[in-house]
Amino acid sequence: MQANSQHAPVVVSGGSGQLGQELRIAFSNSSIHRPVIFTDREELDLSKPELFEVFFRTHQPAYFIHGGAYTAVDKAEEEKDLAYLINATATGEIARLCYEYNTRLIYISTDYVFNGQGTAPYAVDAATAPVNHYGYTKWMGEELIRKSNVFSAIIRTSWVFSSYGHNFVKTMLRLMSERSEIKVVNDQRGCPTYAADLADAISTIVQAWEKGDEHVGTYHFSNRGDITWYEFANAIRDMADKNCSVLPIPSAEFPTPARRPGYSVLDTSKISTDFGIEPKTWQEALHNCLLRLNASSNEGKGES
């Protein structure tokens, strides 16, 4: 089947999440002249893959951006079957239908597919070995896409933050407003990713494909530079001009049901080589996010 007419839409799963909200902005500013359908549980329930066939038959998308997922990392250790159903089984069914309907697929994966024992940025072909169930289900989603032979880009990302939704930046800002002192782990190193920049990268890939680019495969995208969560918290405090002490602690002092990789820095060179995407530094990305949060806060207060 063909789903590549100029009127065939772009479909986005996880439309109300951090990335989904940013994709609304990215696509509105892009040169893509296709309708864009943002779906949530009401339109496309990822826990019910048996219903996907009807959705594809109805919409016959040209592109499917699969950003929806089970993302509660710790809860996934309890709800293992549900996490697997949403992140693996549903992703495999989406990949199968994308192949059948000639729909190009972009799948958002995670740095948690790695075991965190690395000491240099992970290349896209580095060995995977997830240390928690969430990471395992996302890795299985990747594998099912590869086995489907669908035209696709798998994009692994890390430490996502945004002015939308729940994330580390917004949590830190709230805690720093409520407390004089907070403790943050200092033995997990990775790369923050501003969801707005990830959305722009996805838009760039779709635009490249629209123009005939044939690059596919596994990619990494994050903002440039690596830090620990403690260092990130300090940067948030300083940029936001908060008066709060940030104390470093080892992960052992902050136990969680799911293990986290100690090192998950991503090598983003392939996405730069294939699509010309050059990530901003995490400092610039954080600055841009805080500017938007401040603007939203001022709008909410209204004019005095």
∠ CA 220-221-222, nearest 5°, is 130
User: Residue 299: its pLDDT value, please?
Assistant: 73
In a domain, 102, yes or no: yes
Query: Predicted confidence band at 111 (pLDDT cuts at 50, 70, 90)?
Result: very high
Q: What is the mean pLDDT of residues 250-274?
A: 97
**pLDDT at residue 298 is higher than 90:** no
Domain annotation covers residue 172: no
Domain count, the chain: 1
Check residue 81 and give left, alpha or beta (phi > 0: left; psi -120 to 50: alpha).
alpha
Tokens representing 58 are 């109805």
Count of all residues that appear for the chain in the document: 304
Nearest to 153 by CA among 203, 100, 113, 105: 105
CATH code where residue 35 lies: 3.40.50.720
* Per-residue pLDDT at 225: 98
pTM of this prediction? 0.96
Q: What is the per-residue pLDDT for 302?
A: 56
Place of tokens 């008066």: 243
Tracing tokens 């060179």 back to the chain, one arrives at: 269
- 44-100 pLDDT tens trace: 999 999 999 999 999 999 999 999 999 999 999 999 999 999 999 999 999 999 999
Q: What is the pLDDT of residue 191?
A: 98
Can you give the pLDDT at residue 5? 75
- Residue 133 binned pLDDT confidence (cut-offs 50, 70, 90): very high
- State residue 300's pLDDT score: 64
| Cβ–Cβ under 8 Å, residues 89 and 48 | no
> What's the half-sphere exposure (Cβ side, CA atoms, 13 Å) at 55?
27
Q: Is residue 199 part of a domain?
A: yes
Instruction: Give the residue from 192, 133, 125, 123 showing the smallest Cα distance to 157.
Output: 192
246 falls within a domain: no
Q: Would 247 be classed as within a structural domain? A: no
Identify the pLDDT of residue 25: 97
The Cα–Cα gap between 227 and 265 comes to 9
Residue-wise pLDDT tens digits, 150-178: 999 999 999 999 999 999 999 999 999 99
Instruction: Say which of 107, 112, 134, 164 is annotated catalytic.
Output: 134
Whether 121 contacts 267, CB under 8 Å = yes
Asked about 107 being catalytic, the answer comes back as no
Q: Residues 221-239: pLDDT tens digits? A: 999 999 999 999 999 999 9
Q: What 3 state SS string does 213-243 have?
A: CCCCEEEECCCECCEEHHHHHHHHHHHHCCC
Contact 196, 162 (CB under 8 A): yes
CA distance 139 to 183: 31
Asked if residue 250 is part of any domain, the answer here is no
Domain assignment of residue 121, yes or no: yes
Structural domain contains residue 252 = no
- Percentage of the chain lying above the pLDDT 90 cut: 93
- Of the pLDDT bands very low, low, confident and very high (cuts 50, 70, 90), residue 1 is very low
Domain of residue 157: give its range.
10-161+192-224+266-280
Distances (CA, A) of 190 to 23, 101, 132, 183: 23, 37, 17, 18
